Amino acid sequence: MRNWVFAKLLWNPTLDADDLIQDFIWGCYGSAAPAVLDYYCLLWDHCARYTDFDRQRDWIHAIHDEAMFQHGFGERARAILARAEAATDTESIRRQVGLLKLGVVYVEAAQMFMQMRDGQTPPDSERYDGIVSELDGLCQSLDVHDLGFYDGSRTIGPAGDFLDEMRTVRERRFDQRILAAFKDACDGAVLHETFANVADGEIPAAWRRQVQEHNGRPCGLAQVSRHFVGTPTLHLRDQRSHVAVWSASDEVLPAGNQWAVQFDFRLTGELIYKASDKGPYQAADTGAAFGLKRGQPGSADFLPLVQFDNGEAAGKPVTLLGLGQVLATGLAANQWHRLVIHREGTTWHFYLNDERKKTVVGRNTNLRGIAFGSFRNWPHVAQDIHYANLKIGNFVDPEANIPRP
């Protein structure tokens, strides 16, 4: 319609735009035209009332968080398009109205998907399932194969892929299990950070974050959120960029060289990693799922304790490494794991899910700050990791649960 109206006005600028719009709608929608005009009026009214035109956005993709699609837009649009459907008298017009309805259902699906994925309170599960089924049915009946969903960092093009992602996120969100079977191997005497007192979108006050930007826009996120599970998590996500959080203090760990660190983690999304442990002590041009540091990101004083590697193959199972040594292979996405790092002088023991996986000897360091995430030249394309229940303190044998001296 926009192209047709523009062409008419370029041919004759004296024509009335409103008359041209009505001409197009009546010519395209026939018996359903009066209701379709009401639908376009609803669109224009909500756009004029609720859109913040000063907000920076990508207009091609902006959808799920636009204010114009709130304030009862969905309910009113559905009611109007129901009248349009009832008035159709040919299959061609029915399809044209169906495409309008598909747009409304897609907006609702995108909004509910983002709420299910990111929101503290998930949407009603029955309504969510109904939207998925309705969107699936409309795409099939209208022969629509591409939706081009964009969430700010990635695009899901094919309709089938977006529908599969909607179903997968629902399953993950309502799986509230988080490591109930794994024992503590650290008493948390120095630090026990559950993120419970940290607001969504923030990080603990004693931490700092770095999120790479491009043209003034962040390329990822590093924040506490309550995604999917019943506990707050530290969520790091990026795509071809560098995101990290690190302790503001360089003296978080105990002054001695006898301590333990424990945290839970879960990988999500399409991960691409290649480990890059650069040497026996420091690896300044790298990053880590967890590491020790002194100073700011980019400092030469950084020791990556734990890294991931899947040969830079998107979506393939991930290998977990500790100080460059393989701890576990085949880490699938969307599963929680508990990692414990126990230091005894220059000897390092790595436990995964209550089982000791590797002991590495001969590595010494006086670094006492901690860091999570990616920065500098860590070879990766994307990360999407949740961390939970960070503990620093004395080692507790996960087999006997008896503190070691």
Residue 204 in domain = yes
Q: Same structural domain for residues 132 and 12?
A: yes
Residue 342 CA to residue 280 CA, distance in Å, equals: 18
Q: Same structural domain for residues 162 and 222?
A: no
Q: Same structural domain for residues 195 and 165?
A: no
Residue 405 in domain = no
Choosing from 118, 138, 173, the residue where a domain stops is 173
Residue 398 in domain = no
Residue 387 in domain = yes
Q: Same structural domain for residues 201 and 169?
A: no
Contact 336, 233 (CB under 8 A): no
Q: What is the DSSP code string of 139-194? A: HHHTT--EEEEE-SS-EEEEHHHHHHHHHHHHHHHT----STTPPP-B--SSEEE-
Q: Which domain holds residue 206?
A: 191-393
Q: Same structural domain for residues 208 and 169?
A: no
Distances from the Cα of 351 to the Cα of 129, 264, 301, 360, angstroms = 39, 12, 25, 12
pLDDT of amino acid 238: 75
Q: Same structural domain for residues 61 and 6?
A: yes
Q: Count other Cβ atoms within 10 Å, centred on residue 177.
A: 9
pLDDT of amino acid 279: 45
Residue 126 in domain = yes
Residue 253 CA to residue 249 CA, distance in Å, equals: 10
pLDDT of amino acid 376: 55
Give the CATH number for residue 234. Answer: 2.60.120.560
Contact 337, 353 (CB under 8 A): yes
Cβ-based burial of 58 (10 A; exposed 0-12, middle 13-18, buried ≥19): exposed
Q: Same structural domain for residues 131 and 212?
A: no
Residue 186 in domain = no
Q: Same structural domain for residues 168 and 34?
A: yes
pLDDT of amino acid 283: 45
Q: Same structural domain for residues 256 and 302?
A: yes
Place of tokens 């409304």: 104
Along the 405 residues of the chain, how does pLDDT read in single tens digits?
A: 999 999 999 999 999 999 999 999 999 999 999 999 999 999 999 999 998 888 777 666 677 788 899 899 999 999 999 999 999 999 999 999 999 999 999 999 999 998 887 766 778 888 999 999 999 999 999 999 999 888 766 788 899 999 998 998 887 776 555 556 688 999 999 999 999 999 888 999 999 998 877 777 777 788 998 765 667 899 888 766 778 899 999 999 998 899 999 999 988 766 666 665 544 444 445 567 899 988 877 677 888 899 888 776 766 788 898 988 999 998 877 788 999 999 999 999 999 998 999 999 988 999 999 999 865 555 455 577 889 999 999 999 876 654 444
Give bridge partners of residue 266 from the DSSP assignment. Answer: 336, 386
Residue 403 in domain = no
Q: Count other Cβ atoms within 10 Å, centred on residue 140.
A: 12
Provide the domain count of the chain: 2
3-state helix, strand, coil in the chain (%, to 5): 30, 30, 40
Query: Which residues lie below 8 Å from residue 366, measured CB to CB, with a gap of 6+?
Result: none
Choosing from 147, 173, 199, the residue where a domain stops is 173
Q: Count other Cβ atoms within 10 Å, centred on residue 93.
A: 20
Q: Same structural domain for residues 356 and 246?
A: yes
pLDDT of amino acid 307: 87
Residue 96 CA to residue 113 CA, distance in Å, equals: 26
Closest by alpha carbon to 129, among 144, 146, 113, 140? 113
Residue 179 CA to residue 177 CA, distance in Å, equals: 6
Residue 295 CA to residue 380 CA, distance in Å, equals: 23
Q: Same structural domain for residues 115 and 245?
A: no
Residue 178 in domain = no
Choosing from 141, 173, 205, the residue where a domain stops is 173
Q: Same structural domain for residues 196 and 165?
A: no
Contact 56, 217 (CB under 8 A): yes
Amino acid at site 208: R
Give bridge partners of residue 385 from the DSSP assignment. Answer: 236, 267
pLDDT of amino acid 405: 45
